[in-house]
């Protein structure tokens, strides 16, 4: 916040400016909404949440719609990079991307690159976030939609929330949607 | 670059408080940085982390990220956050007299 006070013009015709500048406040808490379940869209939210914790910022992650795949026991180890309709792969013609096995190849390549950069697989990442004190929440509505039960989610998930609960828990948060 | 008095010696640090010259680091400097960052006393577990960070950085040429520390120092992730509640990402390296880690994990 900047407060500027303009004083009366002085005799020399110039005005003196008394300025009080407050430093921007550091971020205290972030709420990250993960709504996509493809491998390339899973990592950004996890990295952002983990980075916040590394800085001592409180972090919560709300998994909704396809983002639920990231915390579903049966799905977490089988996330794929979409090779059709993925704007990040413009060099891949849709017909090629749609061939059998292409998703597997792209996913394998991405996993290899992640490993080289010491970025853990999604399951380990979720464990790491939980150990780091990030709060992990599943979306009630998306669970109903996909007919998922609480027992089908990873044990690190703290709670199943409605969207209203989400906003309550996000008090004072910066909200990031992915 | 600001110069601060740590444990009786003048140490050059950057604007964020990281040592400019890692060779100026001493255990007393570590204690002083820790106190200035909300850690009352460095215990054995802190020292395990610091020793690992310094040794690893000497070998790798860059300070280790948290995942690397948790996998190799004998101090796990949960504990790292208890040891450095204000954020182990920066503090582990800072107390160890190393530059700010460039990795995101």
Domain residue ranges in chain A: 30-79+121-177
Per CB-CB distance under 8 Å, the chain A contacts of B90 are: 54-55
Contact yes or no for A132 and B105 at CB 8 A: no
Q: Answer yes or no: are the C-beta atoms of A66 and A72 closer than 8 Å.
A: no
User: In B, residues 44-73, which contact A (CB 8 Å cutoff)?
Assistant: 65-68, 70
Does any CB of chain A come closer than 8 Å to the CB of residue B77? Answer: yes
- Choose among A2, A69, A19, A72: nearest CA to A41: A69
How many structural domains are present in chain B?
A: 1
CA A43 from chain centre, in angstroms, equals: 8
Contact yes or no for A50 and B76 at CB 8 A: no
pLDDT digits (tens, 9 = 90+) for A87-120: 666 666 676 777 777 777 787 887 888 877 778 9
Residue B105 lies in a domain: no
Residue B31 lies in a domain: yes
Q: What angle do CA B84, B85, B89 make, to 5 degrees?
A: 55
Q: Answer yes or no: are the C-beta atoms of A147 and A68 closer than 8 Å.
A: no
Mean residue pLDDT of chain B comes to 90
Closest-CA residue of chain A to B65: A118
SS3 label, residue B98: coil
What domain range includes position B56? 3-95
Residue that has been written with the tokens 């008394």 in this structure: A18
pLDDT band at A1 (very low <50, low <70, confident <90, very high): very low
Q: Is the pLDDT of residue A178 over 90?
A: yes
Residue B25 lies in a domain: yes
Per CB-CB distance under 8 Å, the chain A contacts of B65 are: 118
Does any CB of chain B come closer than 8 Å to the CB of residue A44? Answer: no
- Find which of A47, A54, A118 to mutate to test the B interface (most B CBs within 10 Å of its CB): A54
Which run of H or of E encompasses A78? none
Measure the CA–CA gap between A157 and A127, rounded to whole angstroms: 10
Query: Could you report the predicted ipTM of this complex, rounded to two decimals?
Result: 0.86
Q: How far is B65 from chain A (nearest CA, A)?
A: 9
pLDDT digits (tens, 9 = 90+) for B38-70: 898 999 999 999 999 999 999 989 999 999 999
Supply the DSSP string of A117-159, one letter for each residue: TTPPPHHHHHHHHHHTT-EEEEEHHHHHHTT--GGGB-TT--E
Span B14-33, average pLDDT: 89
Tell me what pLDDT residue A76 has: 92
Residue A145 in tokens = 């939609």
Residue B17 lies in a domain: yes
Residue B101 lies in a domain: no
Q: A30-79+121-177 in CATH: which number?
A: 3.40.1260.10
pLDDT digits (tens, 9 = 90+) for A9-63: 545 555 555 667 888 888 999 999 999 988 889 999 999 999 999 999 999 999 9
User: Number of Cβ pairs closer than 8 Å across A and B?
Assistant: 43
Measure the CA–CA gap between A9 and A11, rounded to whole angstroms: 7
Residue B90 lies in a domain: yes
Residue B35 lies in a domain: yes
Supply the DSSP string of B22-72, one letter for each residue: GGG--HHHHHHHHHHTT-----HHHHHHHHHHHHHHHHHSSPPPHHHHHHH
Residue B86 lies in a domain: yes
User: In A, residues 116-135, which contact B (CB 8 Å cutoff)?
Assistant: 117-120, 128, 131-133
Tell me what pLDDT residue A146 has: 93
Q: Answer yes or no: are the C-beta atoms of B69 and B75 closer than 8 Å.
A: yes
B104 carries an active-site annotation: yes
Residue A20 in tokens = 């009080």
Query: In the structure, how many helices (H) and strands (E) does chain B have?
Result: 5, 2
């Amino acid at each position: 916040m900047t407060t500027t006070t303009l004083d009366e013009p002085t005799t020399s015709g110039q005005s003196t400016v008394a300025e009080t500048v407050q430093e921007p406040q550091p971020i205290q808490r972030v709420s990250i909404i993960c709504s996509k379940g493809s491998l390339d869209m899973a990592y950004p939210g996890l990295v952002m949440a983990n980075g916040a914790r590394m800085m001592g910022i409180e972090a919560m992650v709300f998994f909704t719609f396809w983002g639920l795949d990231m915390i579903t026991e049966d799905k977490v180890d089988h996330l794929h990079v979409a090779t059709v309709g993925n704007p990040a792969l413009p060099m891949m013609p849709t017909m090629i991307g749609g061939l059998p096995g292409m998703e597997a190849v792209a996913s394998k390549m991405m996993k290899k690159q992640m490993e080289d950069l010491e970025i853990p697989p999604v399951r380990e990442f979720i464990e790491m976030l939980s150990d780091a004190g990030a709060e992990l929440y599943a979306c009630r509505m998306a669970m109903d939609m996909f007919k998922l039960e609480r027992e089908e989610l990873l044990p690190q998930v703290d709670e199943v929330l409605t969207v209203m609960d989400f906003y309550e828990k996000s008090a004072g948060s910066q909200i990031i949607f992915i | 670059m600001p110069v601060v008095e740590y444990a009786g010696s003048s140490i050059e640090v950057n604007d964020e408080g990281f040592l400019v010259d890692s060779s100026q680091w001493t255990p007393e400097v570590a204690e002083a940085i820790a106190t200035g960052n909300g850690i009352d006393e460095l215990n054995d577990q802190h020292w395990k982390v610091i020793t690992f960070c310094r040794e690893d950085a000497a070998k790798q040429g860059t300070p280790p990220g948290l995942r690397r520390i948790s996998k190799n120092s004998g101090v796990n992730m949960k504990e790292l956050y208890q040891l450095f509640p204000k954020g182990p990402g920066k503090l582990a390296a800072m107390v160890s007299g190393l530059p700010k880690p460039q990795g995101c994990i």
